[in-house]
Amino acid sequence: MIKNHGGNHQEITLKNGQLHVFANEEVFQNLDYKVYEMADNNLQIPRNVHMSYTPDAHVGVGTCIGTTAVWNMKDGFISPSIVGSDIGCGMRVHLTSLHRDDIQDKKLRRQMIQAIEKYVPANERDASYYQNIRVEKIVSEGIHGLPPQYVPDYYSPKNRRSLTHIEHAKFSYDTDYLDSIPEKMWSRAWKQVGTLGGGNHFCEIQSITIRDENREIAEKWGLFDGQVVVMIHSGSRAWGGMLGPKFIKDFRGAMDKWGIGTADPNLVFAPTDSEEGQRYLNLMYSALNYAVVNRHMIAYGVREGLRDVFGQDFEMTVLYDLMHNYALKEFHRGQPLLVHRKGTTRALPAGHFLNAEPYKETGHPALIPGSMGTSSYIMVGEMGGEKNFYSICHGAGRVRSRRATKELISVDQFASSMKVGTDEEVLVNQRTLESILDECPQAYKDVDQVIDSVVGAGLASVVAECRPMAVIKGV
């Protein structure tokens, strides 16, 4: 049974509970039937308070990407499957004083890409970089655990944007749980600080166009038409990646012992107050700390690279940093709740008490990437977001698997979407488009339809559209 609440909001009655879907008619009609099977499995977890899909929803492992799922803290459940494998994956945007006209020359943009690549590797960095960073400090203290040279505004009494203009600079937890981390992982994690990773992770040079309806907010945030910004998408790398398989195995064993489960063996969960639940929650926070530091250090590397191009006075001001794969204790409707977001972005409206202090008045920037070659968006939450616990999309959302994309989409089609050979070409760091064909725009939903769904549902509105000019991707 489907109940249409209007405003791109459908409530679907499944066998095991209620699923809310926020999507316009075109997106809703094209949802894969498998997403409903996965939702019904997820709803078998007892005492669910809320479960929803944003318009970018698509099939994942155990749980769809694009899921918001909520339980009470007191008697609820934690699920690694509804957090996702890349714990703490998220977005970061930095502002520059450059205008798009300043970097229209393709030779200059190619120089920018090459300079950034010197400082921001895809997989592991050279051991000569960042030797004084200690992994035990950053996973325990987040950005506070970095040496001062990487957080130069830390001691500024009036301008500490590295700590204030982000969703969270530090997640506190019981660090005794770190004793269970294998020795080899500490070394690997150290080598990956400040690295992009592969898949859909990227660093993108973009130019923005402000939407008239939110121009006042944009100006308060320091945005202007034509401004060049840097958008970063990455997560907790191997540190978070190691926790997924480990806890899938541990949770399965515990679930067998308790005699609980669903039809999907990839969907695991445990009571938040169980030994397994507490171990996962605490180590998940360590991965969230790693993720925010990783994006901070990627941005640091981008700035160092662009200083080689534009001079040592070049600066990049952080606009915001936020996550879209995590579970977090939040207060909603007068009670403490554990909000899982797997491929969904928190978008708080003006005046909400959970906003970072600099964004209390306006609401914080919600950073939504498009697919490579298409627009990304900077949004702001609306009061109507309360009906979805202030969750919106995290991107365009895949419509084809990587394998299917390579079989169905040609390199020529990809090149056309990247405007190759024109003055508006979106430059990439890879030698051939074939090597990143599985990340072409045709692999993803139409991001404009996704954004239209969110806006039409009253969850958030657009502050600025960000058009790509140059992309750095790993493989």
* Catalytic center residues: 394
Residue 323's nearest CA partner among 88, 93, 65 is 88
User: What is 94-152 written as a DSSP string?
Assistant: EEEEEEGGGG-SHHHHHHHHHHHHHH--SS---TTSSTT--HHHHHHHGGGGS-GGG-T
Q: How far apart are CA 44 and CA 110, in angstroms?
A: 51
To the question of whether residue 271 is assigned a binding role by annotation, the answer is: no
Q: How far apart are CA 213 and CA 224, in angstroms?
A: 14
CB 138 within 8 Å of CB 170: no
To the question of whether residue 5 is assigned a binding role by annotation, the answer is: no
Q: How far apart are CA 235 and CA 243, in angstroms?
A: 13
Pairing of strands 50-58, 17-22: parallel
To the question of whether residue 233 is assigned a binding role by annotation, the answer is: yes
- Name residues whose C-beta falls within 8 Å of residue 448's C-beta, 6 or more positions apart in sequence: 374, 375
To the question of whether residue 383 is assigned a binding role by annotation, the answer is: no
CA distances to 329, 354, 356, 382, 428 from 390, in Å: 14, 11, 15, 8, 34
CB 18 within 8 Å of CB 49: no
In the block, residue with structure tokens 């990627």: 298
To the question of whether residue 370 is assigned a binding role by annotation, the answer is: yes
Q: What are the phi and psi torsion angles at 159 (to 5°)?
A: -140, 90
To the question of whether residue 474 is assigned a binding role by annotation, the answer is: no
Pairing of strands 227-234, 90-99: antiparallel
To the question of whether residue 313 is assigned a binding role by annotation, the answer is: no
User: What is 394-412 written as a DSSP string?
Assistant: -SS-BSS-HHHHHHH--HH
To the question of whether residue 90 is assigned a binding role by annotation, the answer is: no
Q: Which residues pair with 464 in a beta bridge?
A: 210, 378
CA distances to 45, 101, 139, 245, 289 from 96, in Å: 46, 13, 29, 40, 26
Q: What are the phi and psi torsion angles at 471 (to 5°)?
A: -130, 135
* Lookup: tokens for 4: 């249409």
To the question of whether residue 394 is assigned a binding role by annotation, the answer is: yes
To the question of whether residue 473 is assigned a binding role by annotation, the answer is: yes
* Lookup: tokens for 186: 């500490």
To the question of whether residue 84 is assigned a binding role by annotation, the answer is: no
CB 97 within 8 Å of CB 282: no
Q: How far apart are CA 210 and CA 226, in angstroms?
A: 9
DSSP 348: P
In the block, residue with structure tokens 């070049």: 314
To the question of whether residue 201 is assigned a binding role by annotation, the answer is: yes
To the question of whether residue 371 is assigned a binding role by annotation, the answer is: yes
* Lookup: tokens for 241: 């990646």
In the annotated binding site, the residues are 86, 200-204, 233, 324-325, 369-372, 376, 394-397, 473
- Residues within the annotated binding site for Mn(2+)? 86, 201, 233, 324
Would you list which residues are annotated within the binding site for GMP?
A: 200-204, 324-325, 369-372, 376, 394-397, 473
